[in-house]
Amino acid sequence: AQTVTQSQPEMSVQEAETVTLSCTYDTSESDYYLFWYKQPPSRQMILVIRQEAYKQQNATENRFSVNFQKAAKSFSLKISDSQLGDAAMYFCAYSPWGKLTFGKGITLSVRP
Amino acid sequence: EPEVTQTPSHQVTQMGQEVILRCVPISNHLYFYWYRQILGQKVEFLVSFYNNEISEKSEIFDDQFSVERPDGSNFTLKIRSTKLEDSAMYFCASTRREPTIHEQYFGPGTRLTVT
């Protein structure tokens, strides 16, 4: 069975600083996709960034970047220059095709 | 920008009652999903739907659940006889073409409270 593990339930970062959120997953598939979703208090699910497993290059979206280590099955999210609006629940998700399998999420707070 | 919509935003129902949660996916999308999130827990896959039939379902999606695309725009999730443990946020999602390759767009969710 495919599982996604986010072992840190909470993290805090000072505004303008950098924070890294960890995620590991377990799969026997060779081709798959990994995602980070943001869920603010409104509970809307918002896609932050996506990584294709066949790509060696780490994905980047503005202040958000990932460190994808396929052999270690690790997929961490780095948020640079943290802003107050980044405060939310962040979910790591995995998909070989179709459905998404989510981790338990991590609550990120941003200190002004 | 087109978006997935869901109604109602909040539904309160009594145990044993039937509920129908409604979703309007983005108009040119072909693959549809329901997920649920019990408060404080992770988002869990319920069912995927393509070409007017279920393509995959989880073990959560038992005989009490059904999905339907009654017309060209709506996608519904029905719970026949609600239980207390069905209280959760239910998210609809859709994607244009091949799932995963194309982003799943989530609706804002329906909060279901079973009393």
DSSP secondary structure code for residue B41 in this structure: S
Q: What is the mean pLDDT of residues A68-76?
A: 96
Q: How far is B107 from chain A (nearest CA, A)?
A: 7
Q: pLDDT (tens digit, 9 = 90+) per residue, B74-97?
A: 999 999 999 999 999 999 999 887
Q: How far is B56 from chain A (nearest CA, A)?
A: 8
**Residue carrying structure tokens 């460190």:** A67
Structural domain spans, chain B: 5-114
**Residue carrying structure tokens 């980070």:** A36
Q: What is the mean pLDDT of residues B36-60?
A: 93
Q: What is the mean pLDDT of residues B16-27?
A: 96
Q: Which two tokens stand for residue B42?
A: 């992770």
Q: What is the mean pLDDT of residues A23-50?
A: 92
Indicate whether B99 pLDDT > 70: no
Indicate whether B100 pLDDT > 60: no
pLDDT for the residue numbered B1: 74
Domains of chain A as residue ranges with CATH: 3-111 (2.60.40.10)
pLDDT for the residue numbered B40: 84
A46, A93, A99: residue with CB nearest B56: A99
Query: Per residue in B77-110, is it b (16+ CB within 10 Å) or e — as a string?
Result: bebeebeeebbbbbbbbbbbeebbeeebbbbbbb
Indicate whether A92 pLDDT > 60: yes
Q: What is the mean pLDDT of residues B7-31?
A: 95
Q: What is the mean pLDDT of residues B49-59?
A: 93
Inter-chain contact B99–A95, Cβ cutoff 8 Å?
yes
- Among chain B, residues having any CB pair with chain A shorter than 8 Å are 31, 33, 35, 37, 41-45, 48, 55-56, 58, 89, 91, 93, 98-101, 103-104, 106, 108-109, 111
Q: What angle do CA A34, A72, A104 make, to 5 degrees?
A: 50
Q: What is the mean pLDDT of residues B54-58?
A: 94
Tell me how far apart the 2 most distant CA atoms of chain B are, in Å: 40
Count Cβ atoms below 10 Å from residue B23 Cβ, excluding itself. Answer: 26
pLDDT for the residue numbered A16: 97
Residue A89 forms contact with B (CB below 8 Å): no
* CA B15 and chain centroid, separation: 19
Torsion of CA A44, A48, A53, A55, to 10 degrees: 150
Indicate whether B71 pLDDT > 90: no
Confidence of residue B98 (pLDDT cuts 50, 70, 90): low
How many CA atoms, within 13 angstroms, populate the side-chain half-sphere of residue B82? Answer: 20
Among A84-88, B38-42, B99-103, the range with the most confident prediction by mean pLDDT is A84-88
d(C-alpha A26, C-alpha A4), whole Å: 7
> Which of A49, A69, A53 lies closest to A61 in space, CA to CA?
A49
Residue type, B82: T
Indicate whether A78 pLDDT > 70: yes
pLDDT for the residue numbered B91: 96
Q: How far is B42 from chain A (nearest CA, A)?
A: 4
Q: Which chain A residues are within 8 Å of B44, Cβ to Cβ?
A: 102
Q: What percent of chain A has pLDDT over 70?
A: 99
User: Which fold does the domain B5-114 belong to in CATH?
Assistant: Immunoglobulin-like (2.60.40)
Indicate whether B72 pLDDT > 80: no
Instruction: List the single best residue of B33, B35, B38, B43 to mutate versus A (max A Cβ within 10 A).
Output: B43
